[in-house]
Amino acid sequence: MTKKIDMVNKPPHYTSTKWEVFDILQEFFIKDPLLWQCGKYLLRCLHKGNVVEDLKKMIWYANKRIEQEKNKDE
């Protein structure tokens, strides 16, 4: 019997290591949604199938976060 993959509650690209991605993101970025997104794409990029696409998404969110920081200083 083959075990069915639960893509909603336990997708393999979030649970492929001994730490679940959600737990790491919640620990480090609970109050920073842009960094949460950066972490999400970085942590899953080697497990989802399209490394370049996920890294580009991470960079997009990182650039938004950089702009936020720059705007604080103005």
Q: Could you read off the pLDDT tens digit of each residue along the chain, which spans 74 residues?
A: 677 888 777 777 767 778 888 999 999 999 999 999 999 999 999 988 899 999 999 999 999 999 999 998 77
How many domains does the structure of the chain reveal?
A: 1
Structure tokens at 26: 């919640």
Residue 25 lies in a domain: no
At residue 41, the pLDDT reads 95
Residue 41 lies in a domain: yes
Residue 58 lies in a domain: yes
Residue 22 lies in a domain: no
Range of the domain at 68: 30-74
